[in-house]
Every structure is written in structure tokens, then in C-alpha cells.
A and B are shown apart, each in its own frame.
Chain A
């Protein structure tokens, strides 16, 4: 078997050399040349490629799975951006519940402490320790990219949750963001009959999820010229800061405000509290769908949110990872990261009861 894989590798190398023309030095680095070859060729699919499909001209590389993910001892790690945040915890729980079925799998959580460099260090350590697979919520898509590539080259598939890296790797399991922002924009426009003013409470500057939610939201606003965005200020994902920001909005714009869009539920909750304390009623939307937001929707403090089942999302990431560990596709040769999008659910008072206790996180 080993011999066979060596032969395959050699064929692939040769093929890639041909494909790359004069890249003579590529012979020094089989992996690099594989990647170069891959980028010059056709796009890939997410389905497993049988060894026989390694035709000349590059494409997806093959590997011999080192382990059977459902029987051999495995070490899998989860690196959330922050283990103490609601979704980080929920994803972790989802992964854990999924992996708990397989007694051969050892599952560890490493907190990224909201620091991309910290995540990078952890990731390098895990490569050195010979983990079999890694699930990560990458705080910074650029900073973590080289290390993810390193892991993939070492034969460790990396699956991202929500926050992706800039290089191709085994998979991404994401909530919808542009779509969610757009959906919220549409709901607000509908509630206001296309006329009114909205303020936005934004994510931490530079957070990709915030930017993408905003992108979708603004796309919707562009279709409703009667709706004006008065202001957008950050509350750094934080409830108490959102309350302060909302107070200041109310001071500055007073009755002009008709609706509020916050980039996560915590901030929507803070805005809801501020609006309630000011004795007003506004349309307030958040995103994510954490437990307290759902209860606030029930209590009428906020209007709605876009809910994603984080347990399910974590479990999905775990399944994708196990599949990749056992597959013969060499994910380090992919040219595009396969993406799974979690179906969102737009929740307001009319359907909040559909989210049962076991779905709340």
C-alpha cells in the first residue's frame, strides 16, 4: 500500500512539473508543486476522489488515510475564538456530543482568548503534537492562513466554523451572514413600509462576520431608498456597551429612529434595554439566536433575530472532519474550500416558540 502511494505521489509530482513548465525547483517541495499544479487546473468538487482518478495534469491529490476515523484512536481539537462566548460554547458542545458516540476519539478544547496570535501558537503546538484533525473559528483570516496550510500539509484536515481563513483547506461550516443581514434589512423595510430611519450597532471593527452582515443589510437598504441609515457605531459585541451606545443614539436622534439593527444578539439585548428604559418602542433586530435573545423576543424587548442551531453546526463540523480524516482526498491540494452553510431561521414573536428548549444555546 505504501509503495502504491509512493508511486502515486511520484506520478503526481511529475505531472505537476509538466503542468508548471519550468518550475525546476519545485522538485524540492512536493507539496508546493502539488498546490501550484492544482491552481492551474480545474476547480474541485467536494466528493471523494478515488485513487484511480489521479490523472495527469494535477487536480486534487490523493492520500492514503492514516487512520480509520471510526475505530483507530484519534485526537481532535477545537479552537474557538473565545471559549467563554455563547456560540463558542455551543459549537463546542455540539462537536462534543457528536464525537462522544465514537469512543476512539479524544476531544480537546483550546481557548483562543480572542487573540489571533494565541490561536496561531495553539495551532502550531497541535501540529507538533500530531493531532488528527482540527476545528477552528479563525479570528483573523490572514494571520492564521499560513499555519492552516502547514497543518494541511502535515496531513491534518482543518475545518473552520463561521470565521474562515484565506487559504483553501478541508472545509468551512458557516452561518449565513450576508444573507442574514439582507433578510433583516428586508424585515425592517417591510415593518416600516419602506419609509423610516434605522441605526446600526456594529461588531468590533474589522470582524469579518460584522462586515458581511452589514454588507447584506446595506444591500437590502439599497433596494429601499425610503429607509435611511442614520448612524453606525460599535459596541464591541458587548451588551452593556450597546446599552450606552443606544442611549446616545436616543439622545442624538430622539424620535427620528424607527429601527435598530445590531450585529449580534448581545448588542440587540442591550439596545432593547435602553429603549425600554427610555419608555419607547422600536423595531430591534439582532443575529445569532442565543437563548436570552429568544426570551427577550418572547418578552417583547427585542423584535427578532436570525437563529442558527449552533449544536447542529458544531456536529456538522465534526462529521465533515471525520469524513476528511478517513477520505483519500488530500485536502491540502484543494483549490477552494468546500463550504457548508447552515440554514438560518428568521425568528420573531410569531415563530419563536418553534425553537424548543433543546435547540436553545
Chain B
């Protein structure tokens, strides 16, 4: 993995279908709306994908294990609720209290991740089913914590600073995203744990036989996911100056879509974090471009779905071509025919 990355290769870079799709899309939007290609707009796109992308930095670990973590949104709602309730009702909007509240909120995410990790490593419950139901549980807990009210957090300096300050014209949450990405990238590519996670995701039994502590690998992966989900929720509550009991609902679908568009195998064991980020960016650029062009919102979902299918189809084509399997209408049928003609 890491060796390939060291040899930077333009040909390989452009061999990545996603980058080509992204560049084509950007070129198209730039021609249609020159204002697309401005520094300010790129900052806006980054800002728009930040919450999703922070979640991806965690959910990626679960997907690499061949699992899936739908609780990222529930964790985000939980952490936002914990933070806002503590700040507004216990700490009286003080900055010191806010730091403690943020830490407790992150702890909530870690705990939720630990719980999922323990179950996933012990029992063979499909991750999809488990996290689908526990996500409901998490939202239930959030409803109890917030009493189904909006918890306003307008007066806390620290959270307002995080939510609405810009450094060098870039919002603070984007820096948090960069930090998360760097941490995730280093863990996945430059640590023993990173190699173990790809190994366990590829083949759990073989990894176990070769002495990898698979249970620990799984537990840590889900804890990462819980932590990043919680962090994303804290950013959201800082931006909104508020926690609601339905906050971040359904974000997990966008997270999973971006991961899949990013070329991460849902069976586990392959895919990169930068690929998943590219997936998020692709969706972000498309939504931004469509809005700049003034295309009515009712068409956005349609366009999003088509782009996702298109990218996946390109992917399948590339895989089929590489593996030499002749399948589908794109890859190899012509060759087959030629061969058939030749053999005649």
C-alpha cells in the first residue's frame, strides 16, 4: 500500500476514474459558471462536506473491516446533545465548562464505539442490522437527554468561536477535518494497526491464525468511528449554536455513499481514506455546482444518484478489465468477438 504511494505517478493519478470524473465535472461547472472556480467557492465546498467528511474518517475503519457503522449520525446527535445540555444547564456557558463538556461528549462517542466493538468482535451479528437498531437507540437516548426540546447554546464563547470563526478565510471545522484526515491517514498507512485492519478486513480467520489480535482491532475500529461521529456532532452543534434531537439524522447515508463512491470495498480489506474523501468531495462539488447553476432542488437527488451509479460503473469496468474477466457490455465483448472470428 504505502510503497505504491511513494512513487508518485501522473499516469496512475489519471488512471483513477474518480479524479477524472471530478476534473470533468469541475471543468463543466467552471465553463457554465465562472464563479465556480474561485478560492471562496472551494472553501464553501470544503465547508459543506466537512461534517460528512469527519464522519468518514471514522466510519471508514468499520467499512474496511467489512462492516458498516450506521451509528455515526446517532453518535453525532448524542455528543451534540450532551455538549449543549451540559454547557447550558450545568456549566452556565463558561469556557472551561465547555472544554469539559466537549471531552465528556467525545467520551460518549468512544463509549458507544466500545459497545459496538465489543459486540461486533464477540458475536457474529451483521453490522448493518446491529448499527441500524442501535442508531435508533442512540436517537432515543438523545430524545430523553434533550427532553425533545431544542437546546440552545447561544452564549458560550468557545463553541461560538469554533462554529463561526475563520482562520485565513477558512472555517475552523475545516481545520478539524484536516487534522482528522491526517490522523486517519497516518493510522491506516503508517502503523502496524493500519496494516492489521486491512488484513482483518480482508480475511479475519487467516489474520487470527497469523496471530493478529482481531478482537482488539475491531474494538478500536468502532471506537474510532464513535469518536469521529461525536466530533462531527460537536462541530455541528457549534455551527448551529444548538442541539436538536433529530440532529444529523440520515447523515449516515451520505457518509456511506461517499465511502462507496470513493472506491472502498464494502466487503472490507481494500480502499483508501483519500479515496473516500474524494468521494465526499465529488458529491460536494456536484451539489455546489448544481446550485450555482440554479437548477431546482428537485433534480439534485436524481443527479446525485446518477453520478454515484456512473462512478461505480466506471469502477466495475476498470476492475473487470484489470482482472481479465470479460463481462458486461463494456469490457471485452468486442475482444471476445474478435477472438471468435479469429478462431474461425
Residues of A in contact with B (beta carbons under 8 Å apart): 82-86, 88-89, 92, 202, 205, 231-234, 239-240, 243-245, 247-249, 251-252, 254, 269-270, 273, 276-277, 290-292, 295, 299
Contacts and interface: CB of A to CB of B under 8 A. Distances in A.
Given A89-B148, A231-B294, A233-B291, A244 B48 contact: yes
Nearest to B242: A292
> 4 shortest A-B CB distances, which residue pairs?
A84-B245, A234-B297, A84-B246, A247-B44
B246 A244 contact: no
A290 B150 contact: yes
Given A82-B246, A86-B149, A273-B239, 7 more contacts: A244-B47, A244-B48, A249-B291, A273-B164, A276-B164, A292-B150, A292-B154
Q: How large is the interface on B (under 10, 10 to 19, 20 to 34, 35 or more residues)?
A: 35 or more
Contacts of A299: 154
Contact of B44 (A85, A86, A244, A254): A244
Interface in B308-325: none
A240 B249 CA distance: 12
B51 to A, nearest CB: 7
Interface of B: 33, 35-36, 38, 40-41, 44, 47-48, 51, 143, 146, 148-150, 152, 154, 164, 166, 171, 236, 239-242, 244-246, 288, 291-292, 294, 296-298
Contacts of A239: 239-240, 242
Contacts of B288: 248
- Which label, helix, strand, loop or mixed, suits the secondary structure of the B interface? helix
B61 to A, nearest CB: 25
Nearest to B163: A273
A292 B298 CA distance: 29
Nearest to B171: A277
Nearest to B136: A113
B170 to A, nearest CB: 11
B166 A277 contact: yes
Given A276-B164, A291-B152, A85 B244 contact: yes
B147 to A, nearest CB: 8
Nearest to A109: B148
B241 A252 contact: no
Given A240-B240, A248-B44, A252-B294, A84 B38 contact: no
B292 A248 contact: yes
Contacts of A292: 150, 152, 154, 241-242
Contact of B239 (A83, A202, A240): A240
A85 B249 CA distance: 12
Given A84-B143, A273-B164, A295-B154, A252 B244 contact: no
A295 B241 CA distance: 12
B40 A251 contact: yes
B156 to A, nearest CB: 13
A205 B294 CA distance: 15
B297 A202 contact: yes
Contacts of A244: 44, 47-48
B51 A251 contact: no
Nearest to B288: A248
A299 B164 CA distance: 15
A251 B148 contact: no
A239 B242 CA distance: 10
Given A251-B35, A292-B154, A84 B244 contact: yes
